[in-house]
Structure 1
Amino acid sequence: MRLPPKPAARADKVSLWQYGKLFRADILSAQPAKLYRAWMAEFRTPFFRSYLINQPELIKRVLKERPDDFPKSTRVNEGLRPLLGNSVFVTNGETWKRQRRIIDPAFEGGRLRETFPAMWAASEAAAARLGTMTDREIDIEPETSHVAADVIFRTLFSLPIEHHLAQETFDAFRIYQRSQPILNLAALIPMPRWIPRLFGSDTRASAARIRGLIRQLTQTRADEIAAGTAPDDLATKIMTTADPVTGETFSTEEMVDQVAIFFLAGHETSASTLAWTLYLMALYPEWQEKLAVEAQVLNMCDFRVMSKLRLSRDVFRETLRLYPPVPMMVREAACPEVMRERTVRKRSQIVISPWHLHRHNRLWDNPDGFDPARWHTENGKSCQREAFIPFSAGARVCPGAGFAMIEGPLILSRILRDYHVDVGPDPVPVAHLTVRAKYGIRLTFTRRER
């Protein structure tokens, strides 16, 4: 059976300069092939040591058992500061805990049912747009970015993507995502905070543009809340939730930081996964037809329909395994540690790579193959518990994980209900902000007979 494409691994030994160039271009092909078998690997630079861990017990220690001893590294996050400020994605310690106490209630289970009509409307709009692009090869990534951004704006601010502020934010973000590499100089060389960071003019300008637009949205919402006219959406929920410990709510500027990461995490990651899922459906038409049959239940906006999209969830989960949108997470050792009989010094970087963990050939059966049925096997169930972390795990698990597992299968099923998708050239996976395709994902959609 044809395997989904993955990046070629680099030679085992390269210089720090060569590694930096490879990492800046694509963090996946910069890594050696041995990481798909290794439980732990060490990378040394003149400035710090980095350890990639794949052993489930070590990952559990870092993410679940002792997260305070392994805070999020500030090195890799340096490149995202112009856009994200002090959002929940980049903070640590008490600041992060306060932010999560305010944010988490907005994403509790009951809120999913309340946001479902907005997701449904976005999926209907996406299906209608595809109707104007049938019978010709298109790059599906811009379209999945469009629908994912539409979901974010509808659920967060009750605005469709066609609203001028939503559209302007989306356009500015498209510039940002291509101008900003995931790595900048501060990730490899320790730099005091007072030294200016080197960002391209496009990066700074687009980040400032995005934050300015978000500031307009949040200030307008604050005014609506004060007037008692605000809609009951995610933005209102977050902005009116007080920290149960301090009694404080987010200021407008703090809310700008949080909305920036909601847009980055909720839009960019969903767009990446949905594009790869549609590609896999074109590559494996037998699974596509199964989902098309299952999708016939999508006749009216009713949250209960999600319980009937079981195959769609299995397919979406398998895509998250093969193409995790965030391929690597970096933590820092706050104190000396021993891992697999190695002494890990304080301030060493601890890298957890969902990309390598999800394809680890000592953990998974058929690790590089596409097999949505694996989730019902003993190996699949075991690996889902121990070696499947597309949304991270433990205290820092993505608060929108449940949100994403509704949005993705719904939009996927809605598209396949009306359209048959055929595969184009093999895409080349690369990691920028998320795992995308180097030259796009080209597919052809034709309308189904119903």
Structure 2
Amino acid sequence: MTPPKPIPRPDRVSLWRYLRLFRQDILSAQPARLYRAWMAEFRTPFFRSYMCNDPALIDLVLKARPDDFPKSDRIREGLNPLLGNSVFVTNGEVWKRQRRIIDPAFEGGRLRESFPAMWDAALAATARLRTGEVEVEEEMSHAAADVIFRTLFSIPIEHQTAQAVFHEFRAYQRTQPILNLAAFLPLPRWFPRLHRRATLRSAEKIRALITQMTESRAAEIASGRAPDDLATKIMQTADPQTGQRFDTQEMVDQVAIFFLAGHETSASALAWALYLLATHPEAQARVAAEAATLPDHPDFAALSRLKFTRDVFRETLRLYPPVPMMVRENTWPETFRDRPITPGAQIVLSPWHLHRHERLWTNPDGFDPDRWTREDNKTCARDAYMPFSAGPRVCTGAGFAMVEGTLLLAHLIRTYQFTPVENAIPVPVAHLTVRAANGIRLRLTKRS
């Protein structure tokens, strides 16, 4: 079965129709020709946007000269109520300082230390599932949030505060479009940003709960009773250049993006992976065979036996990248493919289109985990695959996400067999992450 493309749209629509589609679903607003174009220009009355699928341009923007293409403030407009001044939206020296403090917590050795907590979350997720018809997006959101709570603050999702944060994140995700209307209009700083009231309420509640958790952890650190988890590591790490640590407000900003990036994106990828395995029973059988080799206790070395499972998760990230588009802004006059680009233009890099590009990939819309072991795929894997971005701004939790996704998939498939539900083909849409318009419903039976 071939994964569905987004609903096709005409190549030309009115500006207001485009804006409405863009707010509802960033994927359906894009014309089909972008799956074969190297570059495309979009014009509005206030700015120009250029989508770049040319690997050479992507390399220039993300790797060769990233400081000349900072993250666009237009994207920040929609996320500001929740993320504040987090590492996801900052630029320049502020961003570099934040990464110097955060990155050590996600180095290889720390992944090994976090592995038992991931294992426990995988066992808990398997225990929560029941046979019959299940909406797996919601279940995977629960599982991914549990991983974050256990690895970041050493508490399971059943903890009262964790439950409250999780439910508010679900509400926030349902009310927040990927772009706020202010992203399209040249509004002055003092002008209200036109966020939905429900979005603002959820963001305020989430930040209040995270503040409680952060202040409680600071007190535990001061008394010497803090668990050795990711939150403790980050809060105790000083910037090697300035000696400064995150204050409470800065830590709240960072924890907010850890929850958003680590919970929403992983949940999206896991749900789509289960759908792909349900519709490809041969691949599911191979994952089950690997999963049967897992021991009964946390063993980091066991990951090396899950090679095909890892490739399934990697292929899912190709077909359904959780973050479908990234936006940068050029600060200097540029020339892209013989076209002049004025300063202030929006440079759109789209993993969704790049990963399905007809000129770059063999069978671009097909689910083929074995492509990752073939020699002819190496160029695409290097030049046209960026589910976690690329260059200096590559997601600091990329390695964490790959371990989490592979481990949870193996545990779930070891226990259950997943099959499709008739007439329930999910349609991908994008808000904060790529989700299904009406969820992903699958049938579960116990694996003998």
TM range, smaller chain: over 0.9
Indicate yes or no: 2:198 matched with 1:202. Answer: yes
Indicate yes or no: 2:377 matched with 1:391. Answer: no
Q: Which residue of 2 aligns with 1:251?
A: 247
Q: Which residue of 2 aligns with 1:42?
A: 41
Indicate yes or no: 2:402 matched with 1:378. Answer: no
**Identical pairs, percent:** 68
Q: Which residue of 2 aligns with 1:127?
A: 126
Q: Which residue of 2 aligns with 1:3?
A: 2
Q: Which residue of 1 aligns with 2:76?
A: 77
The CA distance in 1 between the partners of 2:336 and 2:8, in whole Å, is: 25
Q: Please give the secondary structure, in 1, of the residue aligned with 2:400.
A: helix
The CA distance in 2 between the partners of 1:73 and 1:144, in whole Å, is: 30
Give 1:350 shift.
0.1
Unaligned runs of 5+ in 1: none
Kindly provide the CA deviation profile for residues 138-191 of structure 1, in whole angstroms up to 9, marking residues without a partner as x.
Answer: 111110000000000000000000000000000111110001111111111121
The aligned amino acid for 1:271 is A
The CA distance in 1 between the partners of 2:27 and 2:314, in whole Å, is: 20
Give 1:379 shift.
2.8
The CA distance in 2 between the partners of 1:330 and 1:378, in whole Å, is: 31
The CA distance in 2 between the partners of 1:253 and 1:183, in whole Å, is: 24
- Give me the TM-score of the superposition, normalised by structure 2: 0.99
Kindly provide the CA deviation profile for residues 231-279 of structure 1, in whole angstroms up to 9, marking residues without a partner as x.
Answer: 0000000000000111100000100000000000000000000000000
The aligned amino acid for 1:375 is W
Q: Please give the secondary structure, in 2, of the residue aligned with 1:198.
A: coil
Q: Which residue of 1 aligns with 2:222?
A: 226
Instruction: Pick the aligned partner of 2:343 from 346, 350, 363.
Output: 346
Kindly provide the CA deviation profile for residues 27-77 of structure 1, in whole angstroms up to 9, marking residues without a partner as x.
Answer: 001001111000000001110000000000000000000000000001022
Instruction: Pick the aligned partner of 2:326 from 326, 329, 351.
Output: 329
Q: Which residue of 1 aligns with 2:54?
A: 55
Residues 365, 379 of structure 1: 8 Å contact kept: no
The CA distance in 2 between the partners of 1:418 and 1:154, in whole Å, is: 22
Q: Which residue of 2 aligns with 1:318?
A: 315
Instruction: Pick the aligned partner of 1:363 from 355, 360, 363.
Output: 360
The CA distance in 2 between the partners of 1:155 and 1:269, in whole Å, is: 16
The CA distance in 2 between the partners of 1:77 and 1:289, in whole Å, is: 43
RMSD over aligned CA atoms reads 0.6
Indicate yes or no: 2:415 matched with 1:415. Answer: no
Give 1:358 shift.
0.1
Kindly provide the CA deviation profile for residues 188-238 of structure 1, in whole angstroms up to 9, marking residues without a partner as x.
Answer: 112121111111111011100000000000000000000011000000000
Greater shift in the superposed pair: 190-199 or 171-180: 190-199
The CA distance in 2 between the partners of 1:329 and 1:48, in whole Å, is: 17
Instruction: Describe how 1:59-138 pairs up with structure 2 within 5 A.
Output: 59-130=58-129, 133-134=130-131, 136-138=132-134
The CA distance in 2 between the partners of 1:24 and 1:270, in whole Å, is: 23
Number of residue equivalences: 445
Q: Please give the secondary structure, in 1, of the residue aligned with 2:40.
A: strand
The CA distance in 2 between the partners of 1:249 and 1:239, in whole Å, is: 7
The CA distance in 2 between the partners of 1:199 and 1:346, in whole Å, is: 28
Indicate yes or no: 2:293 matched with 1:301. Answer: no
Give 1:391 shift.
0.1
Instruction: Describe how 1:26-41 pairs up with structure 2 within 5 A.
Output: 26-41=25-40
Unaligned runs of 5+ in 2: none
Kindly provide the CA deviation profile for residues 70-128 of structure 1, in whole angstroms up to 9, marking residues without a partner as x.
Answer: 00001022111000000000110110010000000000111100000000000000010
Q: Please give the secondary structure, in 2, of the residue aligned with 1:443.
A: strand
Q: Please give the secondary structure, in 1, of the residue aligned with 2:292.
A: helix
The CA distance in 2 between the partners of 1:283 and 1:191, in whole Å, is: 47
The aligned amino acid for 1:110 is G
The CA distance in 1 between the partners of 2:153 and 2:293, in whole Å, is: 29
Kindly provide the CA deviation profile for residues 323-364 of structure 1, in whole angstroms up to 9, marking residues without a partner as x.
Answer: 000000000001110000000000000000000000000000
Kindly provide the CA deviation profile for residues 6-35 of structure 1, in whole angstroms up to 9, marking residues without a partner as x.
Answer: 212210111111100000110001001111
Instruction: Pick the aligned partner of 1:264 from 260, 264, 268.
Output: 260
The aligned amino acid for 2:105 is A
Indicate yes or no: 2:161 matched with 1:189. Answer: no
The CA distance in 2 between the partners of 1:16 and 1:261, in whole Å, is: 32
The aligned amino acid for 2:315 is E
Kindly provide the CA deviation profile for residues 406-434 of structure 1, in whole angstroms up to 9, marking residues without a partner as x.
Answer: 00010000010011111121101000100
Residues 7, 430 of structure 1: 8 Å contact kept: yes
Q: Which residue of 1 aligns with 2:444?
A: 445
The aligned amino acid for 1:448 is R
